[in-house]
Structure 1
Amino acid sequence: MSQTAPRTVVIIGGGIVGCTTAYYITRHPSFDSSTTKVTILEASAHGAAQGASGKAGGLVARWAYPQSLVDVSFEEHVRLAELHGGAERWGWRYVNCGSWEGRAEAVPESSSREAGEEHEYLNRRKSLEKTLGLEGGKPLKKPQNKTSKLPDDLNWMEEDLTDAYSLMAPPVDTAQVHPYQFTTSMLSLAQERGASFVRGHATRIVTSNGRVTSVEYTDPPTQAAQQLSATHVVLATGAWAASLLPSLPITGTRAHSITILPLSKDLPIAPYVLFTEITLPDGRGGASPEIYARPGPEGEVYACGAGDDAPLPGCVDDVVVDEEACEKVWMEVRGVSRVLRQGSVDRRQACYLPTVLGRRAGPIIGEAEQVARGLVAATGHTCWGICNAPGTARAVAELIMEGEIQCVNLKNMAPKLFL
């Protein structure tokens, strides 16, 4: 793919992978804005990071998967934070990661449904499999050092409701970012070096003689068909990748989450990420929400539940939030944390995580030369897109600017294995 002629790179998708790829291209040692033009094409009318890139938890972990990509991505997260003030700019910090098991107290429901009525959502939910690991990754094993005592500084969970607590990974192995702030920062830094951001819904990748030549898209204000010429096209549309390349085995899992603002600003929320196993009251079964403390003056807390198979809409702006699913997460959090119970829900949201169908695990990264030269796939990151975006972006930038990926061996993620 290396070439001396001018490059015109169109990145389809203004999420974390797309914006970070633009950053790495514009920071490549051989980048020259006079010979390499970078354009990010985003379908949302609201700008960048409107899907999972703005609504995910922001977990960054050395124990994520696939391991080869994680090894590069984690170190790149560290480097980016040091280089651009990530602690202040996008909430970069190391966090404690623990497994919490315990019981929820009965709390009043804020929805109007009758007590005992079954949530339709409960029949559709499925695990996001964040801690299960995949082939080539390093599974996060069930901790053995369980205790009924909470860490002294875990000030937003309840000792009397705790059955077991275990540290799941060393603090140096788990970190976090605020995903929206990280993504928009990458976009801003890329724009400083000449990258362009265009709003439009991509409708077709145009090829000629086995190479990409342009991307067709719909202009939002006029709904007129427009075209961006391209020598390289990066498909970074997450769960929507198959809409432009139907042979990609990509689907979407809808995931719901809420953000909580604690009542008291005087009590700093300790930096913990908790994977929970909750026994619900009144024989209502169990639940396993993830609860992440986030930095900032208000001490925001993020919590997410299981996913579901709701159909993928045509655009990220059309994602439907199931209020029952968000209420369920809030009920679970209220039941185990009296501190958070006094707070309020700031956002109720949903996003789609890109999942690779079939036996082979994703993500899918590399040139899809059997479809067209210059077409690069960068999708299928499941629940680890925030974590693995820097490694993906660095690899794609090397592929475009140097002709091959140098930083990591991604042969088992090559598009030809999936198409």
Structure 2
Amino acid sequence: MTRVKYVELQSVYEYCVVYSALESDLDYIITRYYISFEIISSTGLQIHCHNKHIAMDPLAKRNIIIVGTKWLTSSPSSSLPLSPPGGGIIGTTTAYFLSRHPKFNPALHRITILEATSIAAGASGQAGGLLALWAYPSCLVPLSYRLHAELAEEHGGATRWGYRKLNCGSIDVTITRESLQAQHQPQPAQAPSSTTTTTTTATPNGVPGTEETKDWERLPKQDAAAEDLLADSALPKDLDWVNRAVVDAYQDMGMPGATETAQVHPRHFTTSMAALAQERGVQIVTRAKVTKIHSSPSRVESVEYLNRDAGTHVTIPDVTDVVVTAGPWTGHVLPKSKVTGLRAHSVVYEADVSPHAVFTRVLLPDGYAPPHRAARGRRRRHNRVVDPEIYARPFGEVYACGEPDRAVPLPDTADLVRVDDDHCDDLLAYIATFSPTLAAAPVKARQACYLPQREGGPLVGATSVHGLWVAAGHTCWGIQNGPATGKLMSEFIFDGKPISSDISDLDPRRYSRTFLLGVMEMSTSLKRSTGETHEYTRRR
């Protein structure tokens, strides 16, 4: 029989449940608030509270705010001024799974997404939408890949957001003067050896100058483990939108159960998650620029935002939980998270082609320059090897992404992201050398976004401030890992711990003292139901 103990607390931030040796075999401790203390010392006894399931009282009210934020300045115990970039996949999937959690009660629980611009305004709307069992981290990928299939089955994802399986592989391509001539591409000029690292170009005043070339920097999509899964194979017959004559080799992600690949249209998927959450009572407030998260040294209290249309400030009181899903801006909200932004450019073609995701390694001829650069008397920006990624997408689209760059710092909001036309034109030119189909296709979008990057992987879980959560740092795999992250966040908030997967490696408190419970020293007493009083101290 399940043994349960109920403890009435005035405030989770003033009291803590303390286990005695006799209570250590209890299955549940029910409190009015979620408690996440790691270790508490009481009368010389160490108690590991995180090993217990601390369940939420089903009658407790919850006021949950999901925000994407940009940090400006902060005081550790008063308020965090913010400027949000826009709701993305992590925020919308968190709202979706919160609203479908078995303990969700719309009469008691309020969930709000505060959105400064529009849903999917950042990377979530401009990603490739690739889903893969060979993605990372391994504690999120299998769960999330399965949830994608279940969501598509439940909500008609094949038609609503283009969910489908697709082939995935990598091609090695060698471009020659003859192949360019056959495709009516501009011919390379006679040029110095490819080992040259500087080239002559015209400066704005007409005086020749120098321009350095660089190695292509690959996006962090495939880690070493994923590359090891590639196997030599014949070029698929239906991969007819590349020039087979210039393909030297093809490697297939073809191991059943390990290298399966699928995709969604990221914008349609993100906006659909938001709409489905709304159907269950989640409020989405757009044009709402979050300005402050008010907190005490131990808990969140309220959230303030600016109604950008009316120009008025609104305060949401009695907030119990704030989930920071700030993507690349997370490092500004929580500096010790070390989440940064990495800009990446992409283009979208109007083209209906066979469903393949293609990684490339393209060797360009010596002296080749993309047409837009050659017309200005400039050489190409890169050395001879470039690696565009190309994903055929549903709804008559093909998505291609180029290399990341750090030339422009992360702006304040997603709608201020700058697109460098030269980066997009480079990408279009390189792809045109081996794909006549895409070279002739209309280009419907040239875009850039910032990927939330963090060495060591994403952070998902509690911070040192009670009620303040973080879910960010998913790099290239935010769309892939969004459903698992959202489901696990719903379990953190409503169950007190993640149930569907062991994500202890992603615990934010593992990586920085500012995330660790016990940052501040605090002493108080808890009068237990037995009438006995125990003293405890939260130590540094």
Question: Structure 2 length normalisation: TM-score?
Answer: 0.70
Q: Sequence identity, in percent?
A: 43
The residue aligned with 1:349 is 447
The residue aligned with 2:500 is 407
- Which deviates the most, 123-132 or 302-311? 123-132
Paired residues of 2:462 and 2:508 also in contact (CA < 8 A): yes
Q: What displacement does 1:153 show?
A: 1.1
Confirm or deny that 1:128 pairs with 2:183: no
CA distance in 2, matches of 1:333, 1:117: 24
Paired residues of 2:220 and 2:475 also in contact (CA < 8 A): no
Match of 2:109 among 24, 30, 36: 36
Confirm or deny that 1:168 pairs with 2:168: no
Confirm or deny that 1:238 pairs with 2:333: no
Q: Deviations over 1:297-355 (max 9, x none)?
A: xx211000110112000000100001111111111111111111111111000000001
Confirm or deny that 1:18 pairs with 2:115: no
Matched AA of 1:246: P
Paired residues of 1:205 and 1:244 also in contact (CA < 8 A): no
Confirm or deny that 1:191 pairs with 2:281: no
Confirm or deny that 1:324 pairs with 2:422: yes
Structure 1 pair 314–397 and aligned structure 2 pair: CA distance change class (3 A): same
Matched AA of 1:71: P
Match of 1:178 among 247, 251, 265: 265
Q: What does 1:274-313 correspond to in 2, within 5 Å?
A: 274-284=358-368, 285-296=384-395, 299-309=396-406, 310-313=408-411
Matched AA of 1:375: L
Matched AA of 1:250: V
Structure 1 pair 288–210 and aligned structure 2 pair: CA distance change class (3 A): same
CA distance in 1, matches of 2:311, 2:499: 41
Identify unmatched segments of 5+ residues in structure 2.
1-33, 35-55, 69-86, 188-198, 203-209, 369-383, 513-540
SS of residue paired to 2:172: strand
SS of residue paired to 2:354: coil
Structure 1 pair 352–121 and aligned structure 2 pair: CA distance change class (3 A): farther
The residue aligned with 1:73 is 144
Q: Deviations over 1:43-75 (max 9, x none)?
A: 22xx10011100000000000000111011000
The residue aligned with 1:315 is 413
CA distance in 1, matches of 2:216, 2:313: 39
Q: What does 1:392-403 correspond to in 2, within 5 Å?
A: 392-403=485-496
The residue aligned with 1:362 is 457
- Which deviates the most, 337-346 or 252-261? 337-346
Confirm or deny that 1:219 pairs with 2:307: yes
The residue aligned with 2:337 is 248
CA distance in 1, matches of 2:200, 2:439: 21
Structure 1 pair 377–125 and aligned structure 2 pair: CA distance change class (3 A): farther
Larger radius of gyration between Structure 1 and Structure 2: 2
Structure 1 pair 17–86 and aligned structure 2 pair: CA distance change class (3 A): same
Matched AA of 2:240: N
Matched AA of 2:279: E
Structure 1 pair 409–120 and aligned structure 2 pair: CA distance change class (3 A): farther
The residue aligned with 1:53 is 124
Structure 1 pair 326–120 and aligned structure 2 pair: CA distance change class (3 A): farther
The residue aligned with 1:112 is none
Paired residues of 1:8 and 1:231 also in contact (CA < 8 A): yes
Q: What does 1:74-89 correspond to in 2, within 5 Å?
A: 74-89=145-160
Q: What displacement does 1:144 show?
A: 4.0
RCO higher in 1 or 2 (8 Å CA, sep ≥ 6)?
Answer: 1
The residue aligned with 1:140 is 227
Q: What displacement does 1:125 show?
A: 6.2
SS of residue paired to 2:91: helix
Structure 1 pair 82–117 and aligned structure 2 pair: CA distance change class (3 A): farther
Q: Deviations over 1:88-142 (max 9, x none)?
A: 0000000100111112454359xxxxx9859989659632221115xxxx53316
Match of 2:292 among 204, 228, 246: 204
SS of residue paired to 1:5: coil
Aligned residues: 394
CA RMSD, aligned part only? 2.2
* Deviant stretches of 4+, over 4 Å: 115-125
Paired residues of 2:218 and 2:387 also in contact (CA < 8 A): no
Q: What does 1:82-121 correspond to in 2, within 5 Å?
A: 82-104=153-175, 105-106=179-180, 107-108=185-186
Question: Structure 1 length normalisation: TM-score?
Answer: 0.89
Paired residues of 1:63 and 1:140 also in contact (CA < 8 A): no
